Structure 1
């Protein structure tokens, strides 16, 4: 598939119709044209001349590569403003002339205003009329011809001007949302400075290869994912995580493409070609996200297909029935019928969803929340229950010494001395606890599988491990009670003993994240009814974590397939999201109505979930949910406004009060309101993460 950038798309409904025309061409079945992104995807075998002809019928065109980034006006922008300004001038001049000078001169000026602001619509409408294709241009053309034929010069001109302004404003709203998205996509670096044999060479980002060394100076963007091999600096990772606080980077630490080196010079060894980097994947998914259609959008598009023909039938009924059955004036009801035709424009209705969706996806992407499509944004706003994995999600996934009892003052020093050569997570927790103490080197050390370590230091034999490791000892009542207390608290036991006595006990726990309790409280206030933890840990540990963070319930001792079964059970009555780290929670993430992964740009997180929190914490999840709920509320409001204003206009036909300019204003008002309300998502004040 080839991808092209299309300029001059006037409205969502017109874009849909253009795509349908292209789909009818040979090799055009798979073609897609997105109003949201302004992108056209085509099979390489399609006839481009025919594609260009279809696009040009609506004033759209494929942008040349050389034009990209330049301000070419062509069919939009300044031309429209100039034409509309001149048309308004002619209209005012005609209005004054009609009152004070000459009626025929005024008619000429009204016609000039109509022609200037409505000629594109008129020619498109005539072509469509010949093809029996009834869209907004066709309806407007019929209405204009009808108005002029019965001598409504003034109203015809006003309708043409207002429709032209409406089309311009409609395009402007989507353009604003697109520009915000394009600004987000501009964070990708364009060039990199590579080092070869001590010489610097600037290359295009696409040509970067794995294992090349790049030089990143202060203020420059890191070109792709890599590892620091020389230098030390703070790096702004906002492009990846949405968090502006700099992160300190030193040798052997990973860096992400698109992040900015704040000071100093870094030498980075590239570990991924740019197209495989976290940033490239994020930007690609954000672009794709704009093109997905939500169930609401699909329904609106389907409804719009039937809406216009229905309005045409109503228009004919309004023109014919009152004169035939109620002795109404043919001229008056013909005029009313023309006004009804204008109400047939579905543009404001079709626009009610895409600007809000694109704005929501863009806002969240800037905030480090990657939503893979409008359908997932919509779904996020409907979630009532969130299930969390424990390890690495609500907790840090790093064991730490929560409590200890020392029966001998040398207990901690001896335990850390035995553990210092081990890379086991529990050993690291013990060493961290003993930080600052002088450690000795064991004379002998051996591991007993499943229970612990036997070590000799200074002629004394020590046993370090779990309860079974010290069953050769006669345990005192005091030690027995302490062991019970530690286990009751849900801690993992590490016991140190010599050949005759227990020297001390440590209780090891997985440390709860500082922000977890605040996040859970924030989620409840954001409208989430149930927060549930699914964990493989035993009951007491799960109960302890659940109480500490404020969860509504938990399920412990679950195997991966049991987590999936529990998600299925919960999903029967609730809309359920599953939050995990995207690595070992993949089955549960895929089973839930919505999978949310956290992982600071890890490949597995990006690929597994529907939504990715690019930070390594849950702090921004409540913000994402509130944003999604707001988008859903705005879409409902937009649909109500778009249909409500048209319904009011149609009801005005009953007393015969509907005029051409009221009809066009009903659509114009809906378009302006829908656009402005949708853009409030984009400019909503950025929420701080719960930390």
Structure 2
């Protein structure tokens, strides 16, 4: 395997001077999908560009290549909107409540945009007026709002128990009325008990219905209130009271079930303690984490949770990182190692210097991103919403027609058809259908987050469940990414001279193979030479002037382009490549001075993950690498990938992904989050590995495996597939119940209270079925 030097596993450029080495990293933050952001800062004014390795692929060209992969020009990241806020909403009984609240607030002049998500109990809103005014507007619609500040609530909204009290009292009155109907009590008193039961149990739905009508929304509260009023109008007081009580029961069960689902994310916030011991001189002071600044030193005792992200300053310990990465085996930490909020200090006292504020910790970012993901509509959910918007008014119009047309035509009595119309009103609300998808997505994303997998939205969950091919970057993904020098072959210089030249050229490069060379030479006690005018030759290697003469370190392709005679070393190079070694050739344009053979090792976790993927039925597992055929073949044989493509530059990897798509596959591309950007952008879903501590990966990937290995990938694919199965089950069940109820109306086999059960009962069953995704392991 030849030394790539195409930085196919790194986006960092280096710069060297004859006094030493300084680095100008030029970070590239890449949005993998349509929200591409590419930032390429210029070198500082005090540092001339000539001091840095000249990159033969200009930043503009790189940007255009990545932009072409997604069909748009790269843009800088947008600034956060200071008027955008998120509120927790309490009191929403069903998914239609979210639409009603949205329409109510959109009518307000100070509101620019609003999105209410029933499954998460959150409202994202952009408004110019005060927080208090928005809370009052929400209260007018019948709900309770609480502003969410950063990742923690300013004021935790109290659980609304009025619904439970009214449900119990309404039920008692309903029972008393039903019992009195079997005694000698006046029928007027019985009807009065039913009427009071309706008023107490139906007050809240009626109030919500009022605001829904004002907002021109036809939600379940409107339909149910109309049905109850209609039942009372024709003297069916028992039916009306039963409908109110069953509706309240269904809402309570839905709310209780949804709270369990929402808690899967709320529990993430509770992983990190709210206070920490801060070193102040020779004393320890207990402080709220929000009051701790970057640079402060906190002390974490054995068995305690780490409250903030930071770097170990003193002490050694094993840290249980399962809350962040999902890894079950504790990780040893010592001075200089990073630690994350919410992880557990197994043993040993640690002094940690804080590197992130409470609102910016890895755990807080995970929670924030997951909540955003849960609020994003998946394609199936959007389709169901469109269907529901058509279905509800059609059935409502059909209900009115059934109430009026047959009696007018002389077929049956007004009372008979009016009752059938009321049943249609109840059936007109597709509650179970509307929540069939979002609840499943919320459950799946919440489960994934607890196991160290960050799925950025329902759309990516759905795509992952349907992918038929997975492409893997090799270095650092399938392999350890930490190659070591295995052999040194000196031909035109002594071994020490060869290593000194290689050290000089490679000392600032960040490619894993370059680091391996530097690490080996440092271990040998060899010093670099003085050099200047370094260049980064993308895809081939590096060069620089030593003693006034340009020297090169790179792959075989580089020296073939230079027309450098290889001599007797060529056969040895070919042999080493066939054995799976990367080759770093060192020399000038005129002659080869020698070569270094470098080898990388395959991760055992990768072998296991790929085996599990094959067991799950994933037949097309492809490895993409810039290394040569020999190395690719060796790694492919070890890992068991079905196909591999070698000697690929970044644009070639993009073409390889397109080729898989042209073959009819939905393709996932797995890398380290910021590398191989064109391929990741082209894939149907981009999966980053090692998101813990990698802010760019967390922000840009579609799915992030927080651990630095692939062991969670089979779980992610299985979870996504099960989520799709459950969504299909929910939709099918909801439609079947509606169809059955519609068919039973006209043979007089359906009663009004049975229609209520068919709707609210189906919604509860759909939620419980979706909650099975919380248990997937």
Q: Same fold (TM over 0.5)?
A: yes
Report the Cα distance in structure 2 between the residues aligned to 1:576 and 1:210, rounded to whole angstroms. Answer: 41
Do the aligned partners of residues 399 and 63 (structure 1) sit closer, same or farther apart at CA in structure 2, a change above 3 Å counting?
closer
Aligned to 1:621, which of 701, 713, 716? 713
Question: In 2 relative to 1, CA 158–538 (structure 1 residues): closer, same or farther, beyond 3 Å?
Answer: same
Aligned to 1:267: 351
Among candidates 470, 482, 490, match of residue 398 of structure 1: 482
User: Residue 534 of structure 1 aligns with which residue?
Assistant: 624
CA apart distance, 1:218: 1.7
Q: What's 1:682 paired with? A: 774
Distance across 1 between alignment mates of 2:280 and 2:133 = 49
Q: 1:556 — aligned with what? A: 646
Give the distance between the partners of 2:736 and 2:665, measured in 1 at CA.
Answer: 32
1:225 aligns with 2:317: no
CA distance in 2 between counterparts of 1:440 and 1:14 reads: 70
Pair 1:535–1:46, CA change in 2 (3 A): same
Give the Cα separation in 2 of the matches to 1:44 and 1:209. 30
**Deviation at residue 670 of structure 1 after TM alignment:** 0.8
Given that 1:231 and 1:251 are in contact with CA atoms closer than 8 Å, whether structure 2 keeps it comes out as yes
RMSD: 3.9
CA contact (8 A) 2:607 2:640 kept: yes
1:68-99 CA distance string (max 9 Å, x none): 676834xx33x333332333333233223212
Relative to structure 1, the CA distance from residue 326 to residue 543 in structure 2 (aligned partners, 3 Å threshold; closer, same or farther) is farther
Matches within 5 A, 1:340-379: 340-379=424-463
Distance 1:570-1:401 versus aligned 2 partners, 3 A rule: same
Distance 1:519 1:157 in 2: 57
Deviation at 1:401, TM superposition (A): 7.1
Specify whether residues 164 and 609 from structure 1 end up closer, same or farther in structure 2 by C-alpha distance, changes over 3 A only: same
The offset of 1:491, in angstroms, is 2.4
CA distance in 2, matches of 1:391, 1:376: 25
**80-89 or 307-316: which moved more?**
80-89
> Which residue in 1 is equivalent to 2:163?
80
Deviations 1:323-353 (A, max 9, x none): 4457223321211111111111222222112
SS in 1 for 2:327: coil
Q: How much has 1:515 moved relative to structure 2?
A: 2.1
Structure 1 SS opposite 2:181:
helix
Aligned to 2:139: 56
Structure 1 residues 5 and 252, CA gap change in structure 2 (3 angstroms): same
The answer to whether structure 1 residue 297 and structure 2 residue 387 are counterparts is: no
2:252: which partner in 1? Answer: 168
Distance 1:427 1:388, change over 3 A: closer
- 2:218 aligned to 93, 118, 134, which one? 134
Structure 2 Cα separation of the partners of residues 343 and 94 of structure 1: 26
- The alignment partner of 1:348 has SS state of helix
Is the partner of 1:63 in helix, strand or coil?
A: strand
Q: Deviations over 1:503-532 (max 9, x none)?
A: xx9964211111222211211232433111
Residue 591 of structure 1, aligned match among 673, 677, 682: 682
Q: Which residue of 1 aligns with 2:61?
A: none
Displacement after TM superposition at 1:563 (Å): 1.4
User: Structure 1 pair 419/219, CA: closer, same or farther in 2 (3 Å)?
Assistant: farther
Shift of the 571–87 alpha-carbon distance from structure 1 to 2, 3 Å rule, reads same
Residues in 2 aligned to 1:145 and 1:211: alpha-carbon distance in whole angstroms:
65
Match of residue 102, structure 1, among 171, 174, 185: 185
| 1:243 paired to 2:312 | no
Q: Which residue matches 1:458? A: none
1:519 aligns with one of 609, 621, 638? 609
Task: Report how far residue 474 of structure 1 moved.
Answer: 11
Structure 1 CA distance, aligned partners of 2:468 and 2:408? Answer: 56
> Helix, strand or coil for the counterpart of 1:244?
coil
Deviates more, 1:206-215 or 1:641-650: 206-215
In structure 2, the CA distance between the partners of 1:257 and 1:142, relative to structure 1 (3 Å rule), is closer
Partner residue in 2 for 1:192: 276
The corresponding residue for 1:652 is: 744
Aligned equivalents of 2:212, 2:325: Cα separation in 1 = 49
* Structure of greater relative contact order (alpha carbons < 8 Å, 6+ residues apart): 2
Q: Any residues of structure 2 matched to 1:416-565 within 5 Å, and which?
A: 485-492=575-582, 508-565=598-655
User: Does residue 661 of the first structure (1) align with residue 747 of the second (2)?
Assistant: no
TM-score, normalised to structure 2, is 0.75
Which of the numbers 572, 591, 603 marks the counterpart of 2:695?
Answer: 603
Choose from 366, 372, 395 the match for 1:311.
395
State the secondary structure of the residue aligned to 2:245: helix
Distance 2:513 2:655 in 1: 31
1 CA distance for matches of 2:153 and 2:601?
A: 55
Contact 2:340 2:363 in 1 (8 A): yes
2:89 maps to what in 1? Answer: 6
Report deviation, 1:131: 7.3
Cα separation, partners in 2 of 1:94 and 1:426, compared to 1, 3 Å: closer
CA contact (8 A) 1:600 1:613 kept: yes
Q: Contact 1:417/1:441 (CA < 8 Å) preserved in 2?
A: no
Indicate conservation of the 8 Å contact 2:500/2:528, yes or no: no
TM-score by length of 1: 0.83
Task: Work out whether residues 5 and 38 of structure 1, in 8 Å CA contact, stay in contact via their aligned partners in 2.
Answer: yes
Q: CA deviation at 1:52?
A: 4.2
Contact residue 503 and residue 528 of structure 2 kept, 8 A: no
Instruction: Give the corresponding residue for 1:32.
Output: 115
Residues 651 and 528 of structure 1: CA distance in aligned 2, closer, same or farther (over 3 Å)? same
Does the 8 Å contact 2:104/2:211 carry over to 1? no
Summarize the Cα distance change of 1:587–1:427 in structure 2 as closer, same or farther, 3 Å threshold. closer
* Equivalent residues of 1:126, 1:141 under 8 A apart: no
Find the counterpart in structure 1 of residue 666 from structure 2: 575
| Alpha-carbon separation, structure 2, partners of 1:303 and 1:519 | 39
Which residue of 216, 219, 228 corresponds with 2:300? 216
| Structure 1 CA distance for aligned equivalents of residues 304 and 127 of structure 2 | 38
Residues 480 and 54 (structure 1 numbering): CA distance in 2 closer, same or farther, change over 3 Å?
A: closer
Q: CA deviation at 1:183?
A: 0.7
Residue 535 of structure 1 and its aligned partner are, at CA, apart by 0.9
Deviation at 1:618, TM superposition (A): 0.3
Distance 1:485 1:535 in 2: 19
Counterpart CA distance in 1 for 2:165 and 2:309 is: 48
Q: What is the number of equivalent residue pairs in this alignment?
A: 648
Residue 37 of structure 1, CA deviation: 3.0
| Distance (whole Å) between structure 2 residues aligned to residue 189 and residue 47 of structure 1 | 31
Select the structure of larger CA radius of gyration. Answer: 1
User: In structure 2, what is the Cα distance between the partners aligned to 1:129 and 1:397?
Assistant: 61
The equivalent of 1:455 in structure 2 is none
Task: Please name the residue that 2:233 is paired with.
Answer: 149
Q: Distance in 2 between matches of 1:64 and 1:532?
A: 47
Which position in structure 1 is the counterpart of 2:64?
A: none
Which deviates further from its counterpart, 156-165 or 26-35? 26-35
Greater mean deviation of Cα atoms: 275-284 or 606-615: 275-284
SS at match of 2:302: coil
